[in-house]
Amino acid sequence: MWIVLKINKSEFNTLMTDLNYRLNGSFQIYVPKVSYQKKFLKKEIFLLGDYIFCFSKKFKEKNSIYSIKFCKGLKEILIGKEISQKEIISFIQKCKNYEIEDGTISYNFFNILENRNYKFLSGPFSDYFAQTIKVQKEKIDLLIGNLKVSLKKRKYFLHSQ
């Protein structure tokens, strides 16, 4: 059964060690990530912020979920009941379908909508805010302050605000 864990990202490795100990290595983690270039550095961020997916057959037993409740680095457990398992599996499969060689999710995963505000995470407009004017298949028309700009969709990473 899949569960969703809210974690402290700075203690991720400690959490993995603790989960491995408490579940005897019989678990699987899925963390959807995106990467982008900022100046000369490649950065990766968790797509879901502080949330990750954890699977174990043991989670069908309530005691096993309770046994991980006090793992270091774990903030909260969101238990996926049987009815939400299909949605969780479907979302994970969608993420995996858009993964590229390095295991991160490609830009094609995201739907950029018109008349929405976004923040640039990469490129020359990094850390600037923009409003989408027109979204086409391969390009986006944006308004950055009073400046109207057309950009290739795949070249820049935008984060919705």
Q: What is the mean pLDDT of the chain?
A: 86
- Do residues 33 and 102 make contact, with C-beta atoms less than 8 angstroms apart? no
- Count of CB atoms situated within 10 Å of the CB of 36: 20
Highest mean pLDDT among 9-18, 111-120, 136-145: 9-18
Residues 6+ apart with CB under 8 A from 48: 32
Alpha-helical regions (H) of the chain: 12-22, 62-68, 82-97
Integer Cα distance of 33 and 104 in angstroms: 5
Q: Select the more confidently predicted residue: 142 or 82.
A: 142
Can you tell me the mean pLDDT for 56-78? Answer: 88
Residue 53: pLDDT over 70:
yes
Residues 6+ apart with CB under 8 A from 156: 120, 121, 122, 123, 125
Residue 80: pLDDT over 70:
no
Q: Say which CATH class 2-107 falls into.
A: alpha beta
Q: Say which CATH class 110-160 falls into.
A: mainly beta
Enumerate the domain spans of the chain.
2-107, 110-160
Q: Select the more confidently predicted residue: 128 or 18.
A: 18
Residue 158: pLDDT over 90:
no
Can you tell me the mean pLDDT for 109-131? Answer: 80
